[in-house]
A and B are shown apart, each in its own frame.
Chain A
Amino acid sequence: METRPDLQKETTVTKTKNKKREGRSLWMDGWIRLKKNKLAMFGLYLVIIIVLAALFAPFITKYDPYTQLIWTEGRAAQLSPPSAKHWFGTDVYGRDIFTRVIYGARISLQIGIASVLISVLIGVPLGAIAGYYGGLVDDVISWLINVIFAFPFLLFVLAIVAYLPPSLIIMYVAIGVVNWASIARVVRGQVLSVKEKEYVEAANALGSSDFRVIFKHILPNVLAPVIVQATLRVGNVIMLEAALSFLGFGVQPPEPSWGYMINQGRQFLLAGKWWWSVFPGIAIMMLVLGFNLLGDGLRDALDPRLKQ
């Protein structure tokens, strides 16, 4: 180990560059590796572009997502095909589909990110407690995880959403509450392996509190797979929201939801008026693809096993 030629080369190179360089953390290493991964960067750019579009929606399009242009522009604005004026065409109410797709990104991203945050906030502590303390606590939490896994995901969320009055907040929470199980399972497994590491034992030998051991020594070393899992989950949740909205249980009209737009446009597909369904469909595909490529790339970049 002392004279690994590849290591030596690296240190001599960096030494000549900058004698007093800062140490490079594993996170930094991961980021550098991610930057080299073209597919992952493509995913990252897709996500960034869609996020920017959602944030600056009013500046990108001059239309309003709710305004029905048939009142001002007449029948010509009804289900008009893509043109220079309406890039993605208009729907049967004369609303600009490009505008609705961009505003729809706000809803998809909100639900994707908020409900994954909720599931991380529930899943990480529960998984960490189960893995660290073991015993009865672990049994109970693991049992809960298994119960949630045993339910068909979509049906479970449908049941919650159908029982309670439909609203965005309930969607976040419903999806988050179901989704935490997969995060918790990842965290539990990781904690089980990390807590046996010698540096955790060293921390105990120094007299660290449980709190310090969990938050300074275990969780930072568990975070990488959580980030990967969470990123992949965002893609999943966006699909789930689209599916729920398609079925009419998700975002309620007239909010611009991609899933519901596909549903509404469906009846016109056979009549050759494809744009109402196809553009939101492409948008879903792009966003989910972006998150999945990014998640895969993160897994490759952050997994220490591939490092050596």
Chain B
Amino acid sequence: MSDTALAEKLVEIVGARFVLERESDLLVYNSDGLPGYRRKPRLAVFPGSREETVAVVRALAASGTSFVPRGAGTGLSGGALADDVVLLGLHRLKRVLSIDHENLRAVVEPGVVNLSLNRTVAPLGLLYAPDPSSEAACTIGGNIAENAGGPHCLKYGVTLNHVIAITAILPDGEIVVLGNPEGEIDGYDLRGAFVGSEGCFGVALDVTVRLTRKPAALRTMLADFVSVDDAARVTSAIIASGIVPAALEFMDSPTIKVVESSVYAAGYPADAAAVLLIEVDGTEAGVNADRDAIREICISGGARTVKVAQNDAERTRLWQGRKKAFGAMGRMAPHLVVQDAVIPRTKLAEVLARISRIAAEHRVTVCNVFHAGDGNLHPNIPYNADDPDEAARVHLSMGEIMRACVDAGGSITGEHGVGLDKIGYIELIFSPESLNAMCKLREVFDPDHRSNPGKVVPIHSCQEWRATPAGRSSEEHGELAGAAST
């Protein structure tokens, strides 16, 4: 179908206002939350209701058109970019359909913003636990696509652990219910397979999420260190002690400095080599005991001070610095590469030291700000992509850091997803047979790869597996470095 004919068909469904065709109108959709990649959609369509979404997906199916589902576009893996295919924006589907206080669940449309759901349920003493740092903008549908995490996932688990059921439309237009909104799942856990499928399995129409009671008491602490190594070892010691903090976040000196010089200044000691932001929750009596135990571990592990937030305003301020750290890095340079590797928690000190050596060798600045309790690193590098020499050094560093994390027994992504950005690394951790199995799973939901084509698993892994000469993957991924430096 020609672009014009397709656009006409879509305009019939959603109205002319909600179909974008002109290059200037589409410009804003050429990027997502990860600067460095640009892809131009063929056109963009924004249905305003479930019925319109179903009709759009069916129209796309009828014409064999590929598409990319997109929420708020805050993702950090290039996963929401549409490369000459239709961009299907779902942010208008933003109704909270029901809240069941008694059974601790809510049914929401995919475009509901994470923080907006939390604000809606807060007066009932409830919360939706997964809290990605982009919570003020990101949508539940996007969270499901990426299996999003966040600081409090250390104790409460990631999106996967908070999704009960999903009504989805498959790329062929069929509507299916995955999971069981009112009881156990008998048979395959199709809901589990769908969460984290990065938009490759179809489009969620509504989602039943689990809500959590707000803890009775919280204690938020900031421990500061003159040595990165000490902060890393204290993190491992807290985890090994058996206390499960609600959150345990790490920020190093470059991150502290940029946060403190921004509008998000949180009062972190500017001369510290690292700070740990630690939160415990539970009963009033229990959190005091945990606070004391953690303070003791921090002090005996070399912390200079341990400051406890005395009220909500202090707590909010401590958290603001952490949650806005990525944004604050915008002050340092026009571009930022964001990594998301995960390592075993006993390897923190060792891997951070290796990252620091890699940074020194390639003369780049790494800002470490991450979910230390989970071992989920975010070594970010602010840089100027217009300087080819610097861009080349940044990309060499990122590759070496990724390999260091994989060598430590880790994973290439903990919460941001593979998308476009990490597709070149996935063969570091999965064999051709495993990747082929993932393709088969994708093809169960989307036999023609029409939903978010070209993401997550390299296309060559989807051919029936056979022994291939070593080195093929590196040639095929030459695009990565080029794309990321644009």
Our verdict on whether A and B bind, yes or no, reads no
